[in-house]
Structure 1
Amino acid sequence: MIAALAVADFRERSRRPAYAVVLLAAVALGVLALPAADSHWQIFQLGDYRGRYSSVYAGTVTALAGAVWLSLAGFYVVKSAVALDVDTGVGQILAATPLRRAPYLAGKFAGNLAVLASMTAALAGTALIMQLWRGEDRHVGPLALLAPFVLITLPALALTAAAAVLFETVPGLRSGTGNIVWLFLWMTGSIGLQSGGGLDVFGMGHVITSMRADVGDRRPFDFGVGLVERDTPLKVFSWSGSYVDAGFLAQRLVLLAIAVALAVLGALWFHRFDPARAMPGRRAAERPTEPTTRWELPAHRPATPARLAPAGFRLVRTSLGVLLAGVSKWWWAGALTLNLIAAVAPAMLLLCWVWPVLLWSRLGIQDIDVLAAYPRRRTRLVATWLAGVLLTALAGAVPLIRQVSTGDTRDAAAWLAGALFIPALALLLGSLTRSPRPFQVIYLLWWYAILNGGDPINFMAAAGPNPALVAAVALTLVLLTATWQELKHSRR
C-alpha cells in the first residue's frame, strides 16, 4: 500500500508545471556549478580555488548545490500531497480502507522523496555532461560521479520530504504560514549548516576538510554554496575526493532515520480525513453560513462621468474586502505595532512590508468566485491591483508620514514606487500560477537579500533603483497581467 501511494503521488506531481520549472532550474544550477576556466563566477566557494573537473569533483560540487537548492524549492513542489487528497475527495475513499495513519504518511513521504530523487537524477546527468563539456578530465568514474548524489543530496532531501508531510499535518503550518516558516528555517539553517558544525546535513564539513588538505593552503578562506563573483580567475587544484569515512556514513544514516521519524510523527495530528477532526478553517469554509458582510459589485451600466467614479470606487472597495477577508484583529495589532516602531526607526519599513506577505499572495487568486462576475476584466484587474496598493499603504503608512514630515522626498518617492510594485508583482505571479507560493518564495528571498545589504535591489529606499523605474516596472507588470488574462480568455 505504501508503494502504491508513493507511485501514484509521483505520477501526479511529475505532471505539474511547478515540477518542470524546478527541474529546469536544477539543470541550470548544474551548469553553473562547473563554470568555464576563465569565469569569475562560482557556485561552490572555496576561497580562490576550484578543483579540476574530474568525476568526483563535478559530482560532489553539483550534489552540494542541489542539496541546498532543492531543499528549498523542492519543499514547495511536494507540500500539498495530503491537501490534494482532501480537496479531491480521494482521502474519503482511503478513509474507508484499512490503511492506517502512519503507513499513509509513510507513503506520502516516499512519494515526496521520489519526486525529489528524480530531480537529483537530472542533476547527476547534468554533472556528467558538464564534465565532458569542460574537458579538463574526460575520464568518467561512474561511482565517483554518482556517489555524492546518493550520500549527500538524497539524505538532505529526505529531511525536506519529511518536513513537507509534517507541515501538512501540524495545525498552524498547513497554510501559507508553514511556507514562510520553512523559508526562514531554510535561510537560517543553510547558513549555519554550511559551517559543518553539529550534524552535517549537507555534508559540507567533511568535503571542506578534505579539500583543504588537498589545496595545502593553510590560510583561512571563505567556503559555502552560493553564486559569487571573484576579481581574478580561480586557481585549480586536484582533489582526491576522500571525504567518506565511517563517521560520515553514520551521519547519513542518522539523517534518514530522522526523516522517517518526522514523517510518521505527523500521525499524532493527522485527522485521517475524518470531517469531525478536519482542519477548522476548512470546516468553516465548507459549512454554509450567512455572510457577515455583503459585498455588492457595481452594476454593468453604460459608463457615464457620473457613474464611473462611484462604480470604480465600489469595485476597489469590494476587492479590498475580498483581500482582507478573514484577517484577525491580531494581524492588525501586529501591523500597528510595526508602524509605531517605524515612527522612530525608519529602517523598520522593511518589517512593515513583510508583514502582509500572505495577504499579497492572494492577489490574482482569491477573486475567482466573487469578482469574476464583473464583466469588465481590465477594470476588475485594475481594481484588484489598487486594492493591493491600498493594503501596502496601510501596512507602511507611518513611515510615509515620517518621510513627508521631515521633507525626505526621495525616500517618499521610493515608498510610493514600492507600494505600486509589490502588489503588481503579486498579481502577475498569482494570475500566472494560480498559487500563492511563487510570490511568497520570490518576495521573501528578495526581502532577505535587501535585509543583508542588497541596496541595488532595494526598491523600498532611495538607496535602491530609481523610483520612476520601479513605478514603470510596476505598471509593466500590470500590463503583462492584463495581456495574460486576455490571452487566457481568448482560448475559451
Structure 2
Amino acid sequence: MTALALGDFRDRVRRPVYAVTLLAAVLLGYLAVPAADAQWTVVQLGSYRGLYNSAYVGTVTALASAVWLMLGGFAVVRNTIARDERTGVGELLAATPLRAPAYLASKLLSNVLVLTSMLGVLAVTAFVLQFARGESTSVDVGALLLPYAVIAFPAVVLTAAAALFWELTPVLRTGAGNVIWFFCWMVLAIGGQSPGAPFGGLGVSAVVESLGAAMVAHGLDITGAEFSLGLTAVDVPLKPFEWTGFTPDGAFLVSRLVVMGFAVAFALAPVLWFTRFDPSRSAGPATPVVDAVPTPATFGAPRTVVRRGSALTAFPRLLSGELRVLLQGVSRWWWAGAGVITAVTLVVPAEAVSVVLLPAAWIWPVLLWSRLGTQRHEFDVQSLLGPYPALRPRVLAEWLAGVVLTAGVGAAAAVRLVDDPVGLAAWAAAVLFIPSLAYFLGSLSRSHRLFQALYVPLWYSAVSGLPTTDYMGVQHGGGLPAPVVALAGVVMAGAVLVFSGRRVS
C-alpha cells in the first residue's frame, strides 16, 4: 500500500498542474505577509496585525495555505482513480489480491503526501518572508511550524479525502463536481472560521481568541475589531503588536484528530460501491472516468485533416474541425440549457441582461472552455496530430473555436446590449478574455482542472460585485475597463501562440 502511494506521489509531483498550483500557493503566502506599508492584508483584526515574528508569520501563512489548498489543491489531486483507469493500471490491479480498502487508503495517502509537500514549501516560504520583512530576525521553528501541524494539515487531510470521495461518487465525479466543490469550499472556508463550527471548523477561533487576548494585554482597543481571513484592501497600513502565538489545549487537539478521523472515514466510504476495476461486479465501466466533460467515443482531432489548397480555404476547415472537437460529446441537456438562457435573455428587461443573464451564460460552458489547450495532452493524441498543418495555425484555430463558443453562448446578450456601448464593449472584451484564460491555463498545466478551479471563483467574485475582478461588466462600467480585459486576453493568447510555436508538435 505504501509503495503504491509513493509511486503515485512521485508521478503527480512531476506534472505541470502541481507546479502551477504550488506557485499560486507561494504567491498567496507572499500576500499573507505584505510589506509594513502595504494597503492590503489577508489576515486582519480590526486595524491591527501581529508583528512579523515566527509565530505570526507561521500562523497567517498556514491559514492562507489551508484556505487555498482546499480549493487549488483539490484540483491537483482529484484525478488519481481516473488516471489508473485511463492508463490501464486499474486492469492490472484488478488481477492482484489488493483489496479495495487498501487501494483507497493508498490513494488517500498519496493525496495527503502531494498536498503536504506543498505545505512544506509554504513553511520554507514563511521562514524566508520573516527575514525579508525584517521586523523580527529571531526564529522559533516550533512556533512557525505549529500552525501548519494543527490548522493546515487537518485541512489538507480533509481536502485529500473529499477529492477521493468526489472521484467515486455519481454526479460529483463529473465536471459539475468541480463547481459543486467550489460552493462546498466556500461553506468550509467561511463557516469554518466560526467558533460554533462543527468539530472546531478550521481551528481559527482559537487563534482569534489568542490574538484578542494579546491585544488586550497590550492595552489596545478591540471594540468592534472583527477578524477577517481573505485578501482585503485597507485604507491605511495596519498597526503591529507583538503576539507570541497560541498554545493549543487538549480539547483543540482532540477536535483536530476528530476532523482527520472523519476525513479518513469519508474517503473510505466509497468502498461500499467501488468495484476495484472489476467489470464482473458492475454492468457499466469498472470505475467512473473523472473528466471535465463526457469523454468522446472517438477523439475528433484526426478528422480535421486539411487537404491541399490555399491557406484561405484551409484555415476555415481547420477552425470548423476544432469547433467540432470542442463541442464533441456535449449532451442534449447542455444544449437545452443554453437554449433556455438564450430565450430568456431575449425577453427579460434590459437591466437584467448584464446583471443576471450574461453571468449565467458565461458560467454555463465552463466545462467546455476547460478543454482548450488540454485535450491533446489528456487524451494522449500527440502522435496523431501529423495531418495538421503548421503548429501555429492549429493553436490559433483551437483558440478561435473557444472565442466562437463564447460569442455564441452570449450572442443573445450582445443583441440586447446593442444600444449600450459600455456594456457591449465589456461583452466583446470578455469574449476574448475567457477563452484566452482557458487556453493559457490549459496549455500551462495540460489539465482541465486548473481552469475550473480558478475560473469559478473569478466568476463568483465578479457576480458578487468585486470591482477588480469584474471582467464581464456586471457593474456596468464600475469594474475593470473593457480595453484592459481585452488586452489581457490578447496577451495571454499571444503568449500561448508564441510559446506553442517554439515547441515540437
TM-score for both structures, normalised by structure 1 = 0.89
Query: What is the DSSP-based 3-state SS (H/G/I as helix, E as strand, rest coil) of the residue aligned with 1:225?
Result: strand
Query: What is the DSSP-based 3-state SS (H/G/I as helix, E as strand, rest coil) of the residue aligned with 1:159?
Result: helix
Query: What is the DSSP-based 3-state SS (H/G/I as helix, E as strand, rest coil) of the residue aligned with 1:50?
Result: strand
> Matched residues in 2 for 1:286 and 1:396: separation?
25
1:312-338 CA-to-partner distances (Å, cap 9, x unmatched) read: 443333222211111111112222222
Does 2:208 align with 1:214? Answer: no
**Bigger CA drift: 352-361 or 228-237?**
228-237
**Aligned position for 1:269:** 273
- For 1:327, the aligned partner's letter is V
- How far did residue 271 of structure 1 move? 2.3
Structure 2 residue corresponding to 1:439, chosen from 431, 447, 451: 451
**Structure 2: 5+ residue stretches without partners:** none
1:335-389 CA-to-partner distances (Å, cap 9, x unmatched) read: 2222334341211201110110101111223367587623243333333233222
> Matched residues in 2 for 1:360 and 1:20: separation?
21
Structure 2 residue corresponding to 1:470, chosen from 442, 460, 485: 485
> Matched residues in 1 for 2:24 and 2:226: separation?
25
Structure 2 residue corresponding to 1:300, chosen from 308, 313, 334: 308
Structure 2 residue corresponding to 1:414, chosen from 416, 426, 430: 426
**Aligned position for 1:339:** 342
- How far did residue 135 of structure 1 move? 4.2
> Matched residues in 2 for 1:436 and 1:105: separation?
24
> Matched residues in 1 for 2:30 and 2:433: separation?
32
Does 2:160 align with 1:152? Answer: no
- Residues 29-428 of structure 1 correspond to what in structure 2 (within 5 A)? 29-199=28-198, 200-216=200-216, 217-242=221-246, 244-275=248-279, 277=282, 278-279=286-287, 297-303=305-311, 308-309=312-313, 311-343=314-346, 344=348, 345-346=352-353, 347=355, 348-366=357-375, 369=381, 373-404=387-418, 407-428=419-440
Aligned residues: 481
- How far did residue 487 of structure 1 move? 0.5
> Matched residues in 2 for 1:473 and 1:409: separation?
20
**Bigger CA drift: 195-204 or 105-114?**
195-204
State the percentage of identical aligned residues.
47
Query: What is the DSSP-based 3-state SS (H/G/I as helix, E as strand, rest coil) of the residue aligned with 1:488?
Result: coil
> Matched residues in 2 for 1:299 and 1:319: separation?
15
- How far did residue 228 of structure 1 move? 2.1
1:218-265 CA-to-partner distances (Å, cap 9, x unmatched) read: 412232222223222222223253452232112101101111001101
Query: What is the DSSP-based 3-state SS (H/G/I as helix, E as strand, rest coil) of the residue aligned with 2:195?
Result: coil
- How far did residue 441 of structure 1 move? 2.1
Any conservation in 1 of the 2:370–2:438 contact (CA below 8 Å)? yes
CA RMSD of aligned residues (A): 2.9
1:259-280 CA-to-partner distances (Å, cap 9, x unmatched) read: 1001101212322112454246
- For 1:317, the aligned partner's letter is S
Any conservation in 2 of the 1:170–1:270 contact (CA below 8 Å)? no
Any conservation in 1 of the 2:395–2:500 contact (CA below 8 Å)? no
Structure 1 residue corresponding to 2:465, chosen from 453, 464, 469: 453
> Matched residues in 1 for 2:407 and 2:34: separation?
44
**Bigger CA drift: 240-249 or 207-216?**
240-249
TM-score for both structures, normalised by structure 2 = 0.87
Distance 1:432 1:241, change over 3 A: closer
- How far did residue 488 of structure 1 move? 0.6
- How far did residue 107 of structure 1 move? 1.0
**Aligned position for 1:6:** 5
1:405-428 CA-to-partner distances (Å, cap 9, x unmatched) read: xx1122122212222222222223
Distance 1:57 1:262, change over 3 A: same
Any conservation in 2 of the 1:421–1:474 contact (CA below 8 Å)? yes
> Matched residues in 1 for 2:20 and 2:104: separation?
26
**Structure 1: 5+ residue stretches without partners:** none
**Bigger CA drift: 426-435 or 361-370?**
361-370
Any conservation in 1 of the 2:195–2:205 contact (CA below 8 Å)? yes
Structure 1 residue corresponding to 2:498, chosen from 477, 483, 486: 483
Query: What is the DSSP-based 3-state SS (H/G/I as helix, E as strand, rest coil) of the residue aligned with 2:240?
Result: strand
> Matched residues in 1 for 2:133 and 2:481: separation?
40
Any conservation in 1 of the 2:40–2:231 contact (CA below 8 Å)? yes
> Matched residues in 1 for 2:483 and 2:238: separation?
39
> Matched residues in 2 for 1:468 and 1:378: separation?
25
Distance 1:448 1:9, change over 3 A: same
